[in-house]
Each structure stands twice: as structure tokens, then as C-alpha cells.
């Protein structure tokens, strides 16, 4: 299914976000069901944030920024919040959420769905929201997804694109056994990664180099020619700055990746829902890209840029 554009979904997203937060019941709209618990049932969540909650983040810039944005927004709503940043990959974070070490984390629809159900076929935002509600472990739930989106991208340098005739992921199969891919270690075993590239496009690489998530290691390797293909994030400002070529995805291997809060039932009360829905209705992909730039390029602290952005957009206490 073709993914809907930001311009055509903005109004339905905003309506779905705010309606789902204000009335925490199962509600379907043009962007899909936006308020579900782990079992796909209607309800207010039954949890309480009165004792505070702990936010965990993954080990890359953007997720850390999002974690601090969550914290800023929740503190303004009166929720005591702690951020445990840079904890690691989804393979660490999900068990930590289930086990009670953390209560909330910023997630991405498509990546989370494929982690929970590698055979999932949904690619449109509403479909994925529904599929996630079914796939989530007991005790966890997703809240309304936001406007901001950050997808995986497989990129090459202009020189590599010209040398091998690469414009799409399908073209990679014509060079089987010749190209080296660089990505975070977990991408080797993920559907939106080496496994999916082989299953969907028939791609086989000469070598997989385990590096980092759209960070200095993988980008440095791409610049030096140590890898031919790099797995980056679409909100990474280096893609445009370096003139790298994003390979198109004609078979829709890469699903939509709207930012979505993943939370334990125990913490999902109406205060938390309303606060995070307000953030989701305010933060855009453009905003998220700029916040990444401030951290990665200007070397600012993720907590500081989150605080400044939230204050500038009226999401913190005066």
C-alpha cells in the first residue's frame, strides 16, 4: 500500500491525536485507530503516573531528544519524570519496559511492528497502529502516533550510485556479492535490514559491517569508502549535506515510521495521554530533523535542545 503524505494526513492526525487523548476510548478515523491498549480493548489505561515515571531511550541522538521532549511535556503536566538515556537497542528496551525498569519510551511504528511481528505486512499508519495493538505483549500499549516521522534509508555516495547504476533497492541485487553494507549490528537480523533486503529484493552483500545507528561510525565508513551502502535515518541532515543518494523502495520494504509512545499500562493515565498527544500534535518531521542537527552538528546537549524547543512551542510551564 502506498504511504500517505504528511500534507494529506495532517488534519486527520491532529484530530485523531487530540480526540484519542481527551476521550481515551477506541476510536477509528482516517488515520486508523489511535488509542489502544496492549490487548486491543477500549479503556483509560487504568494506570497512574502519580508516583512519577521513568523514560528510557535508545542509543542514538534522535531517540534521546525525543525522550527529553517527553519528559519536558510531562513535567509541565505535573508528572515527575526521570530520563534514562542511551540504554541500547529495542532488544534491551522492550524487556526493560516489561520488567518495570522503565515506564515509557519513544518508538517508531514500522520498526516496532516488525520487531514484534517480522511477518507483518501493514505499511500505512492506521493499519500499523491496529497491528501494533494486537502484537504488543500484555501490559504494554501504544498511545496516539504523532506527526513527526523518521524512516530507515539505505544510501550510497553519488560515485557509488554512478559506478554500479544504483537508484533503487532493487538495483542492489544486480551487484550481489560485490557490495559492503554498514549498519547497526541489529540491522543484520531485522526485516527492515539485511533479512528484508534479501527476502524482498534478493539482495546479497559481500559483507555486513556492524557499526552504529546513523552515527559517526557508519557515516565515516561511507565517506571513506569502507562501506558501499549505509543504513541511515531520513531525518539525518548529513544525507542532504553530503549529497548522498537515498535508494528508492519500489516494493515498500520500509514501512511508515511515525513516532509513537510505547508505555506500560501501569503508567498510562489520562494526564500522560493528554500531554504526549499535545506533543505529538506539535512536533513535525522538520522540527525533529533540526533538533538532530543541533545535537549532531552544533554539539548541543539533547536535554538542552529539547527544553528550548518545548519552551518555544508552549509545552513547558511559564
Residue 309: predicted pLDDT: 98
Residue 129: predicted pLDDT: 95
Largest CA-CA distance found in the chain, in angstroms, rounded: 59
Residue 251: count other Cβ atoms within 10 Å of its Cβ: 12
Phi, psi of 46 (to 5 degrees): 75, 5
Residue 63 grid coordinates: 531517540
Torsion of CA 133, 235, 292, 102, to 10 degrees: 20
Contact between residue 239 and residue 155 where contact means Cβ atoms under 8 Å apart = yes
Contact between residue 246 and residue 153 where contact means Cβ atoms under 8 Å apart = yes
User: Which of 156, 140, 317 has the alpha carbon at shortest distance from 246?
Assistant: 156
Residue 34: predicted pLDDT: 34
Residue 218: predicted pLDDT: 97
Torsion of CA 10, 191, 166, 162, to 10 degrees: 100
Measured distance CA(140)–CA(40) in Å, rounded? 11
pLDDT 10s digits, 148-173:
999 999 999 999 999 999 999 999 99
Residue 318: predicted pLDDT: 52
Query: Which residue is associated with the grid cell 515506564?
Result: 103
Q: In which residue ranges of the chain is pLDDT below 50?
A: 1-45
pLDDT 10s digits, 238-277:
999 999 999 999 998 988 899 999 999 999 999 999 999 9
Report the chain's C-alpha Rg in angstroms: 19
Residue 20: predicted pLDDT: 38
Amino acid at each position: 500500500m502506498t504511504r500517505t503524505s504528511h500534507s494529506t494526513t495532517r488534519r486527520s492526525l491532529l484530530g485523531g491525536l487530540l480526540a484519542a487523548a481527551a476521550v481515551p476510548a477506541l476510536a477509528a478515523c482516517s488515520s486508523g485507530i489511535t488509542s489502544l491498549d496492549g490487548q486491543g480493548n477500549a479503556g483509560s489505561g487504568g494506570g497512574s503516573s502519580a508516583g512519577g515515571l521513568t523514560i528510557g531511550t535508545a542509543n542514538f541522538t534522535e531517540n534521546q531528544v525525543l525522550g527529553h521532549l517527553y519528559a519536558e511535556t510531562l513535567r509541565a503536566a505535573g508528572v515527575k519524570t526521570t530520563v534514562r538515556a542511551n540504554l541500547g537497542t529495542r532488544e534491551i528496551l522492550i524487556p526493560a519496559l516489561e520488567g518495570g525498569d522503565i515506564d515509557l519510551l519513544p518508538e517508531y511504528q514500522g520498526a516496532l511492528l516488525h520487531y514484534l511481528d517480522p511477518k507483518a505486512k501493514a505499511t500505512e499508519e492506521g493499519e500499523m497502529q491496529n497491528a501494533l495493538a494486537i502484537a504488543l505483549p500484555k501490559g504494554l500499549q501504544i498511545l496516539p502516533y504523532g506527526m513527526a516521522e523518521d524512516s530507515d534509508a539505505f544510501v550510497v555516495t553519488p560515485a557509488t550510485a554512478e559506478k554500479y547504476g544504483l537508484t533503487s533497492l532493487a538495483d542492489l541485487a544486480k551487484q550481489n556479492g560485490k557490495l559492503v553494507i554498514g549498519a547497526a549490528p541489529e540491522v543484520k537480523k531485522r526485516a527492515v535490514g539485511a533479512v528484508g533486503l534479501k527476502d524482498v529484493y534478493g539482495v546479497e552483500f559481500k559483507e555486513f559491517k556492524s557499526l552504529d545507528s546513523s552515527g559517526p561510525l557508519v557515516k565515516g565508513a561511507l565517506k571513506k569508502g569502507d562501506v558501499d551502502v549505509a543504513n541511515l535515518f531520513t531525518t539525518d541532515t548529513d544525507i542532504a549535506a553530503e549529497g548522498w543518494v537515498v535508494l528508492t523502495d519500489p516494493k515498500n520494504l520500509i514501512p511508515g515510521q511515525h513516532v509513537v509512545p510505547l508505555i506500560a499500562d501501569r503508567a498510562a493515565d489520562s494526564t500522560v495521554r493528554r500531554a504526549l498527544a499535545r506533543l505529538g500534535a506539535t512536533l513535525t518531521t522538520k522540527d525533529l530533523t533540526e533538533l538532530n542537527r543541533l545535537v549532531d552538528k552544533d554539539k548541543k546537549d539533547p536535554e538542552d535542545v529539547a527544553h528550548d524547543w518545548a519552551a518555544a512551542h508552549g509545552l513547558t510551564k511559564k
